[in-house]
Amino acid sequence: MNEAEPFTYDGGRVDPGETQNVRYTVSETYLGDPVRMPVTVINGARPGPTGFLSAAAHGDELNGIEVVREVAHEWDLGELAGTLVCLPVLNVPAFLAQERYLPIYDRDLNRSFPGNPDSTSAKRMAHRIFRNFVAPCDFGLDFHTSTRGRTNTLHVRADMDDGPVARVANAFASNVIISSEGPSGSLRREASAQGTPTITIEMGEAHRFQRQLIDSALDSVRSVLAEFEMLDSEVVSWPGWRTVIENSDEKTWIRADAGGLVDMHHERGGLVYEGETICTIANPFKTDSTTVTAPFTGLLVGVLENPLVYPGNPLCHLVHLDDRTLRAFERSREAPVWDATPAG
């Protein structure tokens, strides 16, 4: 492209050099009032790719909202080449209710893409979002957190067998990438399948802002924009070490075999060695306890925050570190905790 082009959506247009804040109607309430999703479109004066940043597909996942808001409203984007479509709250009804899923029949918006204009309320909403603000883009970053009662370290989920998706994932500069196609109906899977390579970023826990994780994610957003040559002042970052988890035997959810109160011995992002105790589960009298040990040496990318469990409840998400990555991680432990340190 020799000249910047306008960004268009149903009912609107953002010309090169313009920024628009829009409340875009995606559905209606029981009273027939519009449900409006906030959208900020920054169209640079210089030609370049179009990318989207989205958050709160699950309404109680707040960390990503602040990432998207800061990019849209606090960064100096006067020299932006291309267009950024910033979608801080995808799931407006769930956000207003501070629930994970759409309050209407408890549907998961992030299993409803690319949507259908003649189907359920969730799929109709997903269709309007996808067609107007996702499909026109050249790449996407979709921010999530863990569900209530658990917390995730900052990491990427992406289909690393898809070259364009892998490019986005590598540029994001996280230490851990979990490779998978993603669930059917998820934004990253359906967007990638239709030509907008998209990754999921997991960071922290629901119902809160976690400043260190937000700052780390913002640094990695800069790295992605540098990869796509949208900001000349930024460079693509390398996180210092990285593991890409591609096989099911390299990761596991460890679940409780007993009910009780959990004493977690390690924090999110911690290293555990094979056979080491991860946590113990005991009854209220502490007369009977169960010890949970690591089946292999790895990193705790997700851990329990709510210390109460039934048998079968997840305790932690463990990913394997090979010997080379383990040595690199151990060297990095002399620095501040990796997932709280800016990627740059």
What is the per-residue pLDDT for 331? 87
User: What pLDDT score was predicted for residue 338?
Assistant: 40
Task: Summarize pLDDT for 218-255 with one digit per residue, the tens.
Answer: 999 999 999 999 999 899 999 999 999 998 889 999 99
Note whether 143 and 89 are within 8 A (CB): no
Whether the ω angle into residue 103 lies within 30 degrees of 0, i.e. cis, is no
Which residues lie across from 298 on neighbouring strands?
272, 320
* 106-144 pLDDT tens trace: 799 999 999 999 999 999 999 999 999 999 999 999 999
Res 1: pLDDT = 56
- What SS3 state is found at 295? coil
- Residues 84-96: tens digit of each pLDDT: 999 999 999 999 9
**For the chain, what percent of residues have pLDDT higher than 70?**
97
Tell me which amino acid residue 158 is. Answer: A
- Nearest Cα to 80, choosing from 4, 139, 169, 164? 4
pLDDT at 339 over 50: no
Q: Where are the beta strands (DSSP E) in the chain?
A: 7-9, 12-14, 19-28, 34-43, 46-55, 81-87, 139-144, 150-158, 176-179, 198-204, 243-245, 251-255, 260-264, 271-272, 277-282, 289-293, 298-304, 308-309, 314-320
Chain segment 32-62, per-residue pLDDT in tens? 999 999 999 999 999 999 999 999 999 999 9
Q: Phi/psi of residue 112, each to 5°?
A: -115, 0
Please report the pLDDT score of residue 332 as a whole number.
83
Nearest to 52 by CA among 128, 112, 142, 131: 142
CA 50 to chain centroid: 19
Q: What is the rounded average pLDDT of the residues 178-192?
A: 97
- The pLDDT, as a whole number, for residue 185 is 98
